[in-house]
Amino acid sequence: MNKQSEKITALYCRLSRDDEQEGTSGSIKNQQSILEKYAKDNGFKNTRIFVDDGWSGTTFARPAFTEIMELAEKGMIGTLIVKDHSRLGRNRLVVGQLLEEGFDSLGVRYIAIMDNIDTAKGISDLVPMQDLFNEWHAKNTSQKVRNVFKNKGMSGVPLTTNPPFGYMKNPDNTKEWIIDEEAAKTVRQIFALCVEGLGPTQIAKRLKAAKVLTPTEYWVSIGRNCSKPPTVPYNWCADTVANILSKQE
C-alpha cells in the first residue's frame, strides 16, 4: 500500500443541518456525483466515498472523517477530495493546521474542487480568509437554525433529517414519519429483551448470534445513503443498542 498509485483517493461528503438550508445543491447525492466526475475526469484511481451526513463542520469527531485520518496515518490515503472547502470543516484553527502541517506530514494531497484549492500546487494567501468566513458562517447560521428547529418542534414536525432506526419518511409527506415495520421488529425485540432484564452488551450478543442486521446494514440493504457497512456482519455493539433504547422516539 506504499505505492502512490495504490493509495486510496478519498471522496469526502459532509452535510449538516445548517447546510440543508441551502437546498439540493449541497446534498450528499450532489456532492458525490461532482466528486466522482472530477476523479474520473482527472484520472484518480482507487476511489472510495466517505460520508458524514448530519455532522456539523465545527466538530472533527465525525465517523467518516475520523476513518479517513486513521487510514492516512497508516499511509493508505493518497488524496482527499471535497466539493468545497467548507466540507472539510468550519473551524479555522483545525483546518489551518491540517492544511499547513497535517496533510503534508501524512503525505495526503488535498483538493477542494469549487474553491480551486490543491495542496500539490501550493496554498493561496486567500485560503485563511475562506476559513475565517466558513467559521463565521457556521456561528451565524446556527442561531437561525435553532430558531427554525424550535418552531418545528412546537408544531410537532420531526427535528432530525433522517428518521431513527425503526421509522421511515412517509412517501406522501416527507415531514411525517411512519413505522418501518421490518426495522421495527428489531427495535421491539431490543426493548423486549431490555424488559426481561438484559443489558445492552447481552442484547448485542443475542442479536449478533441471531444474525440480525445492524441499522447500517439494514439501511444499505434498502438503498438508504450512508457509510458502507462494517466488514464484520451482524456486528452489534452495546453502544448501538443503548442508543436505540435511549431514544424517546
Do 186 and 239 fall into the same domain? yes
Cβ(103)–Cβ(119) below 8 Å: yes
**Beta-strand runs (E) in the chain:** 8-15, 47-53, 77-82, 109-112, 117-118, 167-170, 173-179
Residue 106 dihedral angles phi and psi, to the nearest 5°: -90, -5
End-of-domain residue from the set 120, 136, 152: 136
Number of domains in the chain: 2
- Could you give the C-alpha distances from 184 to 105, 153, 164, 231, in angstroms and in order? 46, 24, 10, 24
Residue 97 lies in a domain: yes
Structural domain of 74? 4-136
End-of-domain residue from the set 136, 153, 181: 136
Query: pTM for this structure?
Result: 0.51
Residue 24 lies in a domain: yes
Do 104 and 175 fall into the same domain? no
pLDDT in tens, 189-241: 988 888 888 888 889 899 999 999 888 888 888 877 666 666 778 888 888 88
pLDDT in tens, 23-49: 544 688 889 999 999 999 999 999 999
Q: Is the dihedral of CA 173, 164, 15, 44 positive or negative?
A: negative
Residue 181 lies in a domain: yes
Do 9 and 78 fall into the same domain? yes
Query: What type of residue sits at position 2?
Result: N
Residue 156 lies in a domain: no
